[in-house]
Amino acid sequence: MPTRLSCCLLSVGLIGAIQAGQAGEESRSLLEREPSGWTDLVPGKDLAGWKRIPLAPDTKLGSKNPWKVEGDLLQCDGVGVKEMLLHDKELGDGVLHVQWRFRKVPDDTEKKDYNSGVYVRTSADGKIWHQVQIAHQEKPPLLGDIFADTMGKGKFDVVIRGEGARRAKPPGEWNTYEITTKGRSVEVWINGATTTAWKECSLTKGHVGLQAEFFYIEFRNLKFKPAR
């Protein structure tokens, strides 16, 4: 989630309608169907090609850098950390493919609100952002929901409800997202089906990013395919 205010959904003042996504028919990912033409976005040494950005209300990064690349994995030890890792290059229309999994908390006898996110159509300073939620939790925003700070005020003002939570694989297992951006449209495909669609995104191009938020999470197959 983007801000400390977001733990209470009603307190941030929702603007715009909450919409239910239409779950699509089962399908293979675009990466499986069209394996060529993708750009690998996994950070290079010392996170080359990406930058760490604090999340409001914080204005400075913490002393802990949670991000590390090991082989084909981008690892994020987000325990005690809340920040954004933002790709340097602004992207237009296309498809962002990413696989992710949480490291299961050893003592998981109580419900754990595992949390992270994938950003698209985000400004270079991270103040205007659009996020697809990564989470295993009971309160909204749920896994696969789209929410956004479209005004750069440090709190989200749009929430688009989808059906992603129904397709979630549990902590410790890999989940796959493909997020398609076209003009003002953002469409989310999760583990075999389209789950969420939104047609009122405020930015028609922007940066992609990932979120560290208090849990250990790994990412792989982080790729982007521009629209033809």
Residue 7 is assigned to a structural domain of this protein = no
Residue 163 is assigned to a structural domain of this protein = yes
Residue 2 is assigned to a structural domain of this protein = no
Residue 3 is assigned to a structural domain of this protein = no
Residue 18, pLDDT score: 36
The rounded percent of the chain whose pLDDT value lies above 70 is 88
pLDDT tens readout for residues 78-133 = 999 999 999 999 999 999 999 999 998 887 666 678 999 999 999 999 999 999 99
- pTM value? 0.89
CATH of the domain at 29: 2.60.120.560
pLDDT tens readout for residues 148-204 = 999 888 888 889 999 999 999 999 999 999 999 999 999 999 999 999 999 999 999
Residue 4 is assigned to a structural domain of this protein = no
* Strand ranges for 123-215 from DSSP E: 129-136, 146-149, 158-160, 175-182, 185-190, 193-198, 207-213
Alpha helix locations (H) across 23-98? 30-33
The percent helix, strand, coil of the chain (3-state, each to 5) is 10, 45, 50
Residue 1 is assigned to a structural domain of this protein = no
How far is it, in rounded angstroms, from Cα 9 to Cα 158? Answer: 11
Residue 41, pLDDT score: 97
The dihedral over CA atoms of 80, 176, 73, 87, expressed in degrees to the nearest 10, equals -70
Residue 154, pLDDT score: 82
Residue 169 is assigned to a structural domain of this protein = yes
Residue 53 is assigned to a structural domain of this protein = yes
Total domain count, the chain: 1
Domain containing residue 33 = 13-105+113-226
